[in-house]
Amino acid sequence: MLTREAFEEASQIVRQVTEDTRLVYSDYFSSQCGNKVWLKPENMQVTGAYKIRGAYYKVSTMSEEDRKKGLITASAGNHAQGVAYAARKYGCHATIVMPTTTPLIKVNRTRSYGAEVVLYGDVYDESCAYALKLAQEKGYTFVHPFDDPTVATGQGTIMMEIFKDLPLVEYVLVPVGGGGLATGVSTLAKMLNPNIKVIGVEPSGAACLSASLKAGHVVTLPTVSTIADGTAVKTPGEHVFPYLQKNIDEVITVDDDELIVAFLDMVENHKMIVENSGLLTVAALRHLKVKDKRVVSVLSGGNMDVITMSSVVQRGLIQRDRIFTFSVMLPDKPGSLVKVATAIAQAQGNVIRLAHNQFVTTNRSAAVKLTITLEAFGTEHKEMILKKVREAGFEPRMEDAAL
C-alpha cells in the first residue's frame, strides 16, 4: 500500500543519496504555453535520473538475506543505474538486463557502479522476461523498475519536494513508461491536495497507459516505436494500474518530432541536457487546455549518448528551418556560382556545405546541379534567402537536409 507514512519514510531515506533538485522557473516555456511553468530537474541526480529514488528505497526495505542473494532487474538504463548504485551502497551484487538498443552511456555508467550488465532483447519487456528467468534460476532478488508499490513510493518523493517548493502547484506533468513514477507522484499529490491535477505524458509510439485506461484493464501493445527509449514499454504495471486509474487526471501523448524540438528548446534556453523521455512533459505543455495555472514539468532524466544527441540537435534545427538544403540547375560557365553565392550573401545566409555536380546530364551548358546546405535564423529568414535566389534567376528545389 502507498501510504502517507511510507512516503514520509521514503523521503527521509532517499535524501541519503539524492541531490536537492529545486524547482526552476522557466520564462521561456511559460511564455510558450500561457502558464507559469516550473521544471523539476531530476536529470541532475547523481545517476542522471529520478530512478535512484525508488531503487534505493526498495533496497533499503529488504532484509539482509534478500540483499545477499544478489539483486537483478531489467531496465532501459535509468533504473539500472539506480539499482546498481543502491547495490554498491549496500555492498551487494547486482545483475542488470538491458535491451540491446540501450544507449552506450547508460550501459557504461551502469557498469561503472559495479553491476554486471547483460544485453538481451530489443525492448524492455523482452529484457524483463529474461531477467525474471535468471532470477528464478539463480535465486536473485528481483527489483521491478515500476510495477512495485515500494518502488513507486520512492519515486513519489518527488511530489513531496515539489509541494515543499511550490505549495500552490495546480498541475504536475509526469512522464509515463510503465507507470511507477506516475503512480507515486499522483497518489501523494492527491493526499497532499486533492485539487492538484496530475497529467501523465506518453510517447505516441508507446502509449500503453492510454490504451489500458481506455480498455479499463492492463493491455499489452503489439509493438512500440519511439525515440523516448526510457518509456518504450508495451505493458503498464499490473500492481500500480489501480492507482493510475484512480489518481491520474489525464494522459497526453506526444509525437517524437515534438521531443526533438523540445530538446533544442531545453538546451538553448536552460542549458540542460534532458533525454527524450524526460522531455515528454515539456513537449506536452503546448497541449494543455488551461491558462495562467502553476504547472510543474518533471524532467525525469538526462542520460543521452552523444551520437543520439547530435542526431536530435540536427533534426531539431531542420524542423525549425534553421538548417535547410536546396538545389539549383545552372549553366556550366564562369560566374554562375558567383551569382548564386551573391544572392545568398545578400540575404545573410550562411553556407554549411556545397556540392557542384557537372555530371547530372550530358548537356553541361544547361544543367549543372548545385546543392547547398545553409544555416538560417528560422522560417522567415529561409524564405527570404530562397526569394533572393529566385530574383537572381534560379529556381531552388528543396532537398533533404541531413548533414
Catalytically annotated residues: 51, 300
Q: What order do you get walking across the sheet with 368-375 strand by strand?
A: 350-357, 368-375, 323-330, 397-399
Helix (H, G, I), strand (E, B) or coil at 235: coil
Asked if residue 80 lies in contact with residue 110, where contact means CB atoms within 8 angstroms, the answer is yes
- Among residues 148, 153, 77, which one has the least CA distance to residue 115? 77
The answer to whether the CB of 130 falls within 8 A of the CB of 82 is no
Alpha-carbon span 349 to 372, nearest angstrom: 11
Q: Strand locations in 81-154, DSSP E?
A: 94-98, 116-119, 141-142
Q: 3-class SS at 195?
A: coil
Other beta carbons within 10 Å of 285 = 22
CA distance 73 to 366: 65
> 400 is written with which cell numbers?
533533404
User: Looking up cell 550501459, which residue turns up?
Assistant: 107
The three cell numbers of residue 196 are 492538484
